[in-house]
Structure 1
Amino acid sequence: MTLPTFKYNPDPISLHVIKKEQTTCPVCEKEREYVYHGPFYTVEDVEGICPWCIKDGSAAKKYNGVFQDDASCDDVDEEKYIDELIYRTPGYRGWQQEYWLSHCGDFCAIVQYVGWKEIEHLEEELTEDIEDICSGGGLTKENLKQWLVNGGYLQGYLFQCVYCNKHRLYIDAS
């Protein structure tokens, strides 16, 4: 069976939140070959959710949970975008609290976990985000370039606008 596609997380396998692994989904109770290993905010301890139950919203509904905290998101133009992100999109693994960026009035798609070497070719495109990160975090641009290492103390998360393809950058520290 083909994996469902997610507008805001187009490659959850490369982000290690969906893995090829046998599971009996606690939502649909079907045997599945893929399982979700990302954040899911609910009062119950739930494991083994399949991607199909994320996509159709049944996992969030059954457990009254969300895959992304709506307080940890940029503003968007339509409520339907928030619903799709928090109820029907696999999250990503952040060091601290995951944050979802937006552009063109809608959420961006998470592309990959990054350090400076993975994004240095995008420096000009990411100038505004880099300046915001440096001014808000007390970093110089040179410190950011040195300390932003994939899997290191400063972790980067690269997003891309689903309309104009502009890249955006979010970072957090371990």
Structure 2
Amino acid sequence: MTLPTFKYNPDPVSLHVIKKEQTICPVCEKERDYVYHGPFYSVEDVSGICPWCIKDGSAAQTYNGMFQDDVSCDDVDHEEYIDELIYRTPGYRGWQQEYWLSHCGDFCAIVQYVGWKEIEHLEEELSEDIEEICSGGHFTKENLKQWLVNGGDLQGYLFQCVHCKKHRLHIDAS
């Protein structure tokens, strides 16, 4: 069975939140070859959710849960975008609270976990995000280039606008 596609997380397998692993999904109660290993915010401790129950919203509905904290997101133009992101999109793994960026009035798609070497060719395109990140006073642009390492203490998350394809950058520290 083909994995479902997600507008805001087009490759959750490469982000290691959906893994090829046998499960019996607690939602649909079917034996599946893929299982979700990302964040899920619910009163109940739930594991073994299949991607199909994420896509159709039944996992979030069954457990009154969310795959992304709705207050840890940029603003968007339509409520339906928020619903799709928090109830029907696999999240990603962050060092701290995951944050979802937007552009063109809609959420961006998470592309990959990054360090500076993975994004240095995008420096000009990411200049606004880099300036904002460095304006916090924790480090300079040169420190960012040195300390931003994929899997390191300062982790980057590369997003891309689903409309104009502009890249965006979010970072957090362990």
Q: Under a length normalisation based on structure 2, what TM-score does the superposition of the two structures give?
A: 0.99
Give, in angstroms, the shift of residue 136 of structure 1: 1.8
CA change 1:107–1:154 in 2 (3 A) is same
Give runs of aligned pairs for residues 56-71 of structure 1, distance below 5 A.
Answer: 56-71=56-71
The equivalent of 1:172 in structure 2 is: 172
Q: Counterparts of 2:152 and 2:138 in 1: how far apart (Å)?
A: 18
| Structure 1 SS opposite 2:163 | coil
Q: Counterparts of 2:70 and 2:23 in 1: how far apart (Å)?
A: 28
Amino acid of the residue matched to residue 4 of structure 2? P
Pair 1:48-2:39 in alignment? no
* Identity %, equivalent residues: 89
The equivalent of 2:133 in structure 1 is: 133
4+ runs of 1 displaced by more than 3 Å? none
The equivalent of 2:9 in structure 1 is: 9
The equivalent of 1:80 in structure 2 is: 80
Give runs of aligned pairs for residues 125-164 of structure 1, distance below 5 A.
Answer: 125-164=125-164
Give, in angstroms, the shift of residue 137 of structure 1: 4.6
Q: Deviations over 1:70-121 (max 9, x none)?
A: 1000000000000000000000000000000000000000000000000000
The equivalent of 1:114 in structure 2 is: 114
Amino acid of the residue matched to residue 145 of structure 1? K
Q: Counterparts of 1:121 and 1:162 in 2: how far apart (Å)?
A: 20
How many pairs are equivalent? 174
Q: Counterparts of 1:36 and 1:98 in 2: how far apart (Å)?
A: 16
Q: Counterparts of 1:43 and 1:70 in 2: how far apart (Å)?
A: 16
Give, in angstroms, the shift of residue 138 of structure 1: 2.2
Q: Counterparts of 1:109 and 1:135 in 2: how far apart (Å)?
A: 25
Q: Counterparts of 2:137 and 2:156 in 1: how far apart (Å)?
A: 14
Amino acid of the residue matched to residue 149 of structure 1? V
Give, in angstroms, the shift of residue 139 of structure 1: 1.2
